[in-house]
Amino acid sequence: MIRIANGQGFWGDWLEAPVRLVEQGPIDYLALDYLAEITMSILQKQKEADPSLGYARDFPPLIARIQRRLREREIKVIANAGGVNPIACALEVRRVAPSLKVAVVLGDDVSGRLDEFLAAGHAMKNMDTGEPLSTIRDRILSANAYIGAFPLAEALEAGADVVIAGRCTDTALSLAPMIHRFGWKPEEWDKLAAGTIAGHIVECGAQCTGGNCQVDWQSIPDMANIGYPIIEAEPDGRFNITKHEGTGGRVSVDVVKEQLLYELGDPKNYITPDCVADFTSIQLKDAGPDRVQVSDIRGGPRPEMLKLSIAYSYGWKAIGTLVYSAPQALEKSKAADRIVRERLDQLGLKFEEIYTEFFGVNACHGPVAVPNPDPPEVQVRIGVRGQDRKAVDRFTRELIPLVLSGPPTGTGFGDGRPPVREVVAYWPALIPRELIQTSVEVVE
- In contact, 124 and 132? CB cutoff 8 Å: yes
State phi, psi for 7 to the nearest 5 degrees.
-110, 10
Q: Is 347 in the site for another protein (CB under 8 A)?
A: no
Whether the Cβ atoms of residue 240 and residue 293 lie closer than 8 Å to each other: yes
Site string for another protein, 268-307 (x = CB under 8 A): x----------xxxxxx-----------------------
Contact pattern from residue 111 through residue 140 relative to another protein, giving x for each residue in contact according to CB under 8 A and a dash for the rest: -----------------x------------
**Which span (10-18, 24-32, 252-260, 342-350) binds another protein, by CB under 8 A?**
252-260
Q: Which of 112, 366, 371, 373 binds another protein (CB under 8 A)?
A: 366
Sole binder of another protein in the list 72, 138, 304, 353 (CB under 8 A): 353
Say whether 136 sits in a helix, a strand or coil: helix
218 binds another protein (CB under 8 A): no
DSSP 236-302: TS-EEEE--TT-BS---HHHHHHHHHTT---TT-EE-SS-EEEGGG-EEEE-STTEEEEE--EEEPP
What is the maximum alpha-carbon separation in the chain? 71
User: Site residues for another protein, window 312-341 (CB under 8 A)?
Assistant: 314, 317, 319
Please report whether residue 377 would count as binding another protein according to CB under 8 A.
no
Residue from the set 1, 261, 326, 442 that interacts with another protein by CB under 8 A: 261
Among 2, 91, 136, 215, binds another protein (CB under 8 A): 215
How many angstroms separate the CA atoms of 43 and 306, rounded? 22
The closest alpha carbon to 232, from 192, 263, 194, 261, belongs to 194
Q: Which position among 425, 433, 435, 441 is part of the footprint of another protein (CB under 8 A)?
A: 425
**Closest C-alpha to 399, from 316, 352, 407, 328:** 407
The answer to whether residue 96 forms part of the interface with another protein (CB under 8 A) is no
Can you tell me which of 98, 121, 130, 265 binds another protein, judged by CB under 8 A? Answer: 265
Query: For residue 375, what is the DSSP state?
Result: -
Which range, of 48-56, 83-91, 332-340, 420-428, touches another protein by CB under 8 A?
420-428
Q: Is 387 in the site for another protein (CB under 8 A)?
A: no
Question: Where does this chain touch another protein (CB under 8 A) — which range of 153-161, 263-271, 338-346, 412-420?
Answer: 263-271
Q: How far is the CB of 363 from another protein (least distance, A)?
A: 5
Per DSSP, the residues of 54-70 read -S-TTHHHHHHHHHHHH
Residues 6+ apart with CB under 8 A from 38: 311, 424, 425, 426
Distances (CA, A) of 156 to 131, 159, 160, 173: 39, 5, 5, 11
CB of 282 to another protein, least distance (A): 6
Q: Using the rule CB under 8 A, is 219 a contact of another protein?
A: no
Nearest residue (CB) to another protein, 106 versus 194: 194
Which of 146, 179, 78 has the alpha carbon at shortest distance from 436?
146
Residues 125 and 141: their CA atoms lie apart, in Å, by 17
- Residue ranges in contact with another protein by CB under 8 A: 37-38, 128, 212-215, 254, 257-268, 279-284, 314, 317, 319, 353, 355, 357, 359, 363-370, 381, 383-385, 423-426, 428
